[in-house]
Amino acid sequence: MLSRPVRIIGLLVVAASLLASVPLQAAAATGGTPAAPPPAPALTLESPSAILVEATSGQVLFEKNSHEKRPPASVTKVMTLLLAFEAIEQGRIKLTDEVVTSPEAASLGGTQIWLETGERMKVSDLLQAVAVASANDASQALGEYVGGSAEGFVELMNRRAQELGMKDTHFANPHGLDQEGHYTSAYDLALLSQAAVRHPELLKLTAVYDTTVNLGNRGKPVRLTNRNRLVRFYDGADGLKTGMTDTAKYCIVATARRGASRFIAVIMAAPTPTVRQTEITKLLNLGFASYTSVPLVKAGEPVGQPVRVVRGTLDRVVATVPQDFGVAVRKGQEKKVKTQVVLPPSVQAPLDKGGRVGDLVVTLDGKELARTPLVAAQEVPRATLLRTLWMTFTRLIRL
């Protein structure tokens, strides 16, 4: 009979051979743009470019020339606000920081709060001036502070646009005044706004209709009035931005929430402010009249069974969604929504926190409606060979 040490060595050899034969299966990588639910009644719009999406899933519920590249005017400032709030959340800047106005910021025309060169304003006051009054000088000053320079901030804007999948976009400034190489599309503005509405503090600012801020060195209060009249007159509206230049004409990105349903609508190049107001209202009305949002999973909530990790410091990792996820369906179809968790038998270490491990697929009447990535809830480093052999050995012993 074999001695105990010999038996243990034999088991380790078997473990090593089994480990070598384990197929290392990659996580499911299929994705794609969310499919639209059954079409709602058609709309006729005078504006040349428009889109309506459900805010959580990004499902396109209506579109008209949504990928046409156009100057966005002050709607640009949604990106400026997003980057500023992300910088605050990352601890790179603080609301109480004082920003010194540069000559470039003080010299900008258009809508402004009349900042003077060398004047100091807190980040919190600049954010209000950008979100409520759409002040170009405040946008420039804020961008310079977040990015280290205007050029540095524009680089951040374009990098973030790429991360968000904004393929029709290139930014050239933080404020939106007409400039060569400064353009985007209605579709891309909807993508940008999806990211923006995940920041409650940002929406609190864009929902303000009327307020005042103190100008830095002068200590003089300035009244700020929001040009997005929806936040005062449309039920549930809480953002985001209007814009107008001679080239861009009248643009708006708007969002509104009622109950669990939130929609984002975009109008670009409306010929008059009246047409812009009428048609953005039509889009939001279409959303609330025809569709309802179905919340499915909260960010961080475990989805499916934990996935086995090969050669990792942990045996298994929990799959979750990176952001709250849901879909929109025609009213009355809520109970027909089904979900399917698509996870591989195993994934290979090392695995980053947030690394994709699968998909959550949503179907309606058997057809795919939308999907979102499932990601690792925590980091799993690669185990050493000795630890891997030991984990395999203990697994065999349990068997």
Given a cut of 60, whether residue 2 has pLDDT beyond it is: no
SS3 at position 96: coil
Active-site position among 47, 57, 66, 134: 134
Q: Is 286 a member of any domain?
A: no
pLDDT at 217: 67
Between CA 241 and CA 142 the distance in angstroms is 17
pLDDT at 35: 54
- Least confident range of 15-29, 119-133, 143-157, 329-343: 15-29
Q: Are residues 53 and 194 in the same domain?
A: yes
CATH code at position 340:
2.60.410.10
Q: Are residues 256 and 130 in the same domain?
A: yes
Domain that holds residue 307: 23-35+296-398
- Measured CA distances, 305 to 34, 180, 203, 312, 358 (Å): 24, 51, 35, 17, 12
Cβ 58 vs Cβ 34: under 8 Å:
yes
Given a cut of 70, whether residue 391 has pLDDT beyond it is: no
Given a cut of 90, whether residue 9 has pLDDT beyond it is: no
Buried-state track 294-317, b at ≥16 Cβ within 10 A, e below 16:
bebbeeeeebbeebbbbbbbbeeb
Q: Are residues 321 and 232 in the same domain?
A: no
Q: Are residues 318 and 216 in the same domain?
A: no
Q: Are residues 56 and 29 in the same domain?
A: no
Token pair of 323, please?
Answer: 């952001």
Q: Tell me the per-residue pLDDT of 224-243, one tens digit each, with 9 for 90 and over.
A: 999 999 999 999 999 999 99
Reported confidence tier of residue 261, pLDDT bands at 50, 70, 90: very high
- DSSP code at position 93: S
Q: Are residues 258 and 312 in the same domain?
A: no
Boundary residue ending a domain (236, 270, 304): 270
pLDDT at 143: 98
Q: Is 6 a member of any domain?
A: no
pLDDT at 389: 66
Q: Tell me the per-residue pLDDT of 60-111, one tens digit each, with 9 for 90 and over.
A: 999 999 999 999 999 999 999 999 999 999 999 999 999 999 999 999 989 9
Alpha helices by DSSP H, listed for the chain, are 4-21, 77-89, 103-106, 123-131, 136-147, 150-163, 186-196, 200-206, 230-233, 273-290, 385-398
Higher pLDDT, 17 or 44: 44
Q: Is 107 a member of any domain?
A: yes
Q: Are residues 116 and 245 in the same domain?
A: yes
Q: Are residues 198 and 304 in the same domain?
A: no
The H helix count followed by the E strand count for the chain is 11, 18
Higher pLDDT, 387 or 357: 357
pLDDT at 7: 46
Place of tokens 């709602």: 40
Q: Are residues 173 and 321 in the same domain?
A: no
Active-site position among 74, 102, 261, 346: 74
H or E stretch covering 303:
none
Higher pLDDT, 9 or 326: 326
Token pair of 25, please?
Answer: 């299966």
Crossing angle for the helix pair 123-131 and 136-147, to the nearest 10 degrees: 130
Boundary residue ending a domain (252, 270, 288): 270
The arithmetic mean of pLDDT across residues 27-40, rounded, is 46
Q: Are residues 28 and 76 in the same domain?
A: no
Reported confidence tier of residue 30, pLDDT bands at 50, 70, 90: very low
Q: Is 78 a member of any domain?
A: yes
Active-site position among 47, 49, 77, 346: 77
pLDDT at 13: 41
Q: Is 77 assigned a catalytic role?
A: yes
Token pair of 91, please?
Answer: 């601890």
Higher pLDDT, 186 or 351: 186
Token pair of 124, please?
Answer: 């919190």
What is the number of domains present in the chain?
2
CATH code at position 256:
3.40.710.10
Alpha carbon distance, N-terminus to C-terminus of the chain = 22
The arithmetic mean of pLDDT across residues 387-399, rounded, is 65
The arithmetic mean of pLDDT across residues 167-188, rounded, is 98
Q: Tell me the per-residue pLDDT of 203-224, one tens digit each, with 9 for 90 and over.
A: 999 999 999 988 766 767 889 9
Given a cut of 70, whether residue 357 has pLDDT beyond it is: yes
Q: Is 243 a member of any domain?
A: yes
The arithmetic mean of pLDDT across residues 33-37, rounded, is 53
Residues paired with 258 in a beta bridge: 261
Pairing mode, if any, of strands 120-122 and 98-100?
antiparallel
Boundary residue ending a domain (255, 270, 285): 270
pLDDT at 26: 29
Residue type, 79: M
Token pair of 201, please?
Answer: 């503090």
Q: Are residues 192 and 339 in the same domain?
A: no
pLDDT exceeding 90 applies to what percent of the chain? Answer: 77
pLDDT at 397: 73
How far out from the chain centre does Cα 212 lie? 29
Q: Is 107 assigned a catalytic role?
A: no
SS3 at position 217: coil
Q: Is 74 assigned a catalytic role?
A: yes
The answer to whether the Cα torsion of 154, 158, 161, 166 is positive or negative is positive
Place of tokens 């005078």: 46
pLDDT at 220: 74
Q: Tell me the per-residue pLDDT of 272-298, one tens digit each, with 9 for 90 and over.
A: 999 999 999 999 999 999 999 999 999
Q: What value does the mean pLDDT of the chain take?
A: 88
Q: Is 291 a member of any domain?
A: no
Token pair of 282, please?
Answer: 């039509």
Alpha helices by DSSP H, listed for 1-122, are 4-21, 77-89, 103-106
pLDDT at 214: 83
Token pair of 247, please?
Answer: 């080239």
pLDDT at 37: 56
Q: Is 67 a member of any domain?
A: yes
Q: Are residues 195 and 107 in the same domain?
A: yes
Q: Is 254 a member of any domain?
A: yes
